[in-house]
Amino acid sequence: MKLTWSRLPLKLKHRFATSQGGVSEKETIVVRIEHDGACGEGEITPSRLYGQTLESSEAALGEIRGWIDRFHPARIHSVVTELIRRHDPQRAVIAAIDSALHDWMGRRVNRPTWELLGLDPPACRTTFTIGIADADTTHRKVVEALQAGATALKAKIGVEGDTAALDIIRNAFDGPLLLDANEAWTPEQAIQRVRDLSRYRPAMIEQPMKREFDAHLPKLRELGVAPIFVDESCERPADVVRLRGLADGVNIKFNKCGGIREALRMIALARGLGMGVMLGCFVCSSLAIAPALAIASLCDYSDLDGALLLAEDPYEGIRFEGGVLSFGDLPGVGVRRR
């Protein structure tokens, strides 16, 4: 098989900020696998939080190109196992190749990936994320999200004055509201803040503290305000096992774990341990949303709005109607370049 790649510039509708910083433009990398007249694509969305950059991704691709043609693209398990053995820290790259291989296979037999995985057709309600912004922008974002059909919102919190934004959101929206603090608090602050947040009736609270404070998570769960999920604390399958009894659920993202195959292992572990599962994403095009949406029927919450935050999505094939993401009738992961 032949592996090629190119950068993909993306522009956001609004500057998007969390308690860890913000962006108004972003660049990702499109990966292509070609073999036997069929092509599959995947998108690398590197995150510095996990030691991934565009440069580290391209360096890994340069090495992978040297050996990957030894494998047939239908041998997804073997390829992903070898990718993890050689390039474990570059899981965003592994996720994109895993996605491109599933896409190749689906296009080859003209069936969608979710069907080849034996799953139900995805029709998944996604939360729409309201990043940290001033009052006017927050209000505009909420109105836009509701006009676009969002029926569940996720708000980024964990900065000074975040309750003002929550007041604005709750004045306009009574439905499910998820709150993500992105590691903002110390254990002492977290107890106070989670108690205070009860008046906003959160459906769940995500990553209140840094990973080093995971042992304090049960105290937040005992407050009974909302289920406590973790995101930054949970990258890979082994983390799910470590978090047993500490968190109510985990937020699985493909660029943390390495794609469909690793995500399925995490979901199986989480379910076996009685934990909730959420699927998340970073800002990206629909090409990176598609493989996650393909398995979204297995999860409790989906936060797959990464492409909805773009001014223009270079990929088409995913519909967003009434707050629900679903596929059209394209084979493979279900999107194609506009």
Residue ranges that bind Mg ion, judged by CB under 5 A = 180, 206, 231
Q: Which helix (H) or strand (E) holds 301?
A: strand 301-302
Q: How many residues appear in the chain?
A: 338
To the nearest whole angstrom, how small is the minimum distance from the Cβ of residue 280 to Mg ion?
Answer: 6
- Least distance (Å) between residue 336 CB and Mg ion: 29
Residue carrying the six token digits 């890994």: 60
Rg value, the chain, Cα: 19
In the complex with Mg ion, the residue whose CB is nearer, 98 or 303, is 303
Give how far the C-alpha of residue 278 lies from the chain's centroid of Cα atoms, to the nearest Å: 9
Nearer to Mg ion, 180 or 305 (CB): 180
Q: Which is nearer to Mg ion, 208 or 331 (CB)?
A: 208
Q: How far is CA 263 from CA 61, 146, 228, 284, 303, in A?
A: 21, 30, 20, 18, 15
| Smallest separation (angstroms) from Mg ion to the CB of 232 | 7
The number of CA neighbours under 13 Å toward the Cβ of 292 is 35
Nearer to Mg ion among residue 185 and residue 327 (C-beta): 185
Chain centroid offset of residue 88 CA: 19
CB of 29 to Mg ion, least distance (A): 22
313: Cβ contacts below 8 Å, ≥ 6 apart: 285, 286, 307, 338
DSSP secondary structure code for residue 332 in this structure: B
Query: With respect to Mg ion, which residue has the nearer C-beta, 98 or 231?
Result: 231
At closest approach, how far in Å is the CB of 116 from Mg ion? 29
User: Which residue's CB is nearer to Mg ion, number 42 or number 249?
Assistant: 249
Q: Is residue 167 packed enough to be buried (19+ CB in 10 Å), middle (13-18) or exposed (0-12)?
A: middle
Least distance from C-beta 229 to Mg ion, angstroms? 8
Position with the least CB separation from Mg ion: 231
